[in-house]
Amino acid sequence: MILVTGGAGYIGSHCVMRLLEAGKKVIIFDNLSTGHIETVNELKKHGELEFIKGDLLNIEDIKKVFNNNIDAVIHFAALSLVGESVKEPLKYYYNNVMGTLNLLNVMIENNVKKIVFSSTAATYGEPKYTPIDELHPQNPINPYGNTKLMIEKMMDDFDKAYGLKSVRLRYFNVAGADEKARIGEWHNIETHLIPNILKSVFDENKTFNIFGTDYNTKDGTCVRDYINIEDLITAHILALEYLFNGGNTNFFNLGTNEGNSVKEVFDACQKVLNKNINVSTKERREGDPEILVADNKKAKEVLGWQNNKTLTDSISSAFEWEKKLSGKIYAKN
Ligand code: UDP
């Protein structure tokens, strides 16, 4: 049985879908603060899934989950808005760091010693060189990145002392949705580029803004590495296999090795939708590094991972999902 924390959220739900489709038994533990019960209900149609509503800050909630026979944990549950983390660091340190500490505590008590953890390129901070490999120094520039780095360090210490084996997957920019549009990215506060472009098409009250056109890049807009959600999930499955095969604690970048500017992504969206999309340009958004691109060699070499999907694939699947989602939301109004 695999425990997936945060399985009702964007990335977690895609992982649960893949596990269920592979015939694995899964428990989702999620407080539904940002995840959705509708997502869980969809997932339940695809395999043997138990949903437990609970909070990582409540250790008794976690203990109950471990009455089940858990073989490994995939840990997604976290708050992940960079701007919010600057304004409310207390909330971030409590939720992400304390929550994970509680989880690891109960894991060790129950002798469950395999965890795949959703880390982030934000642990690297301002890039010193590009593409970023795993040896790049980790100096986060915001509380969100700090919480994820602290957790990585906790995991190292817990390996030395208690034999906890972790694989930390450092995501670059995750994009796209389930190929069949059964689930997808669904944030009540949407800050991400592709969904915001798409939302501006579906919702006449929303305008898409490009944040900053004066960066030192090919066209003046920020460059990011957009990794498709399905490819990203494949790495989680391989990481789990790696741990079950006796692999040691390790960490990997998940990206494509290629960067696209905001303008390029915008143009690609117009092409996929076959539509001119309105856009305005705004000041730079605070805390945005100019370029973030992953060197993904290590994940390929050690995990045997491949990224197969293109930016267009991600935009197309995100578009299909957004159509469905906007239908749901606007139907209520
Ligand atoms: N961005 C933008 N308009 C938006 C959302 C994002 O111009 O409505 C830009 C943002 O400034 C950054 C890039 O798109 O340069 C990717 O931002 P996102 O929030 O998707 O991911 P991040 O790289 O911050 O994790």
pLDDT of residue 287: 82
- Tell me the C-alpha distance between 227 and 263, whole Å: 17
Q: Is the CB of 192 under 6 A from ligand 1?
A: yes
Mean pLDDT, residues 236-240 taken together: 98
Mean pLDDT, residues 20-24 taken together: 98
Residue nearest to atom 10 of ligand 1 (CA): 211
Q: What backbone torsions phi and psi does residue 142 show, to the nearest 5 degrees?
A: -150, 160
Q: What tens digit of pLDDT does each residue of 84-135 get?
A: 999 999 999 999 999 999 999 999 999 999 999 999 999 999 999 999 999 9
Q: Is the CB of 196 under 6 A from ligand 1?
A: yes
Mean pLDDT, residues 18-36 taken together: 98
Q: 289 C-alpha vs ligand 1 centroid, how far in Å? A: 10
CATH 3.90.25.10 positions along the chain are 193-224+257-326
- Tell me the C-alpha distance between 318 and 197, whole Å: 11
Q: What tens digit of pLDDT does each residue of 142-157 get?
A: 999 999 999 999 999 9
Residue 50's H or E segment, with its range, is strand 49-53
Confidence bin at 332 (pLDDT 50/70/90): very low
Q: Is residue 330 scored above 70 in pLDDT? A: no
The contacts found for 44-52 with CB under 8 angstroms, 24 or more apart, are 46/17, 46/20, 46/21, 47/19, 47/20, 47/21, 47/23, 48/20, 48/24, 49/16, 49/20, 49/25, 50/26, 51/7, 51/8, 51/27, 52/27, 52/28
Q: Is residue 331 scored above 90 in pLDDT? A: no
CATH 3.40.50.720 positions along the chain are 2-175+226-254
Confidence bin at 328 (pLDDT 50/70/90): low
26 SS3 class: strand
Architecture label for domain 2-175+226-254: 3-Layer(aba) Sandwich (3.40)
pLDDT of residue 277: 93
pLDDT of residue 122: 96
Q: Is residue 242 scored above 80 in pLDDT? A: yes
**Residues sharing a CB contact under 8 Å with residue 84, sequence separation 6 or more, in sequence order:** 91, 92
292 close to 262: Cβ distance less than 8 angstroms: no
242 close to 302: Cβ distance less than 8 angstroms: yes
Q: What tens digit of pLDDT does each residue of 37-75 get?
A: 999 999 999 999 999 999 999 999 999 999 999 999 999
On whether the 193-224+257-326 domain is CATH 3.40.190.10, my answer is: no
Q: 221 C-alpha vs ligand 1 centroid, how far in Å? A: 10
**Residues sharing a CB contact under 8 Å with residue 130, sequence separation 6 or more, in sequence order:** 259, 291, 292, 293
Instruction: Look up residue 135 and give its two tokens.
Output: 């040896």
Confidence bin at 162 (pLDDT 50/70/90): very high
197 SS3 class: helix
Angle, vertex CA 119, rays to CA 113 and CA 124, nearest 5: 130
Q: 193 C-alpha vs ligand 1 centroid, how far in Å? A: 5
pTM of the model: 0.96
Confidence bin at 290 (pLDDT 50/70/90): very high
Q: Which residues are 166's β-sheet partners?
A: 115
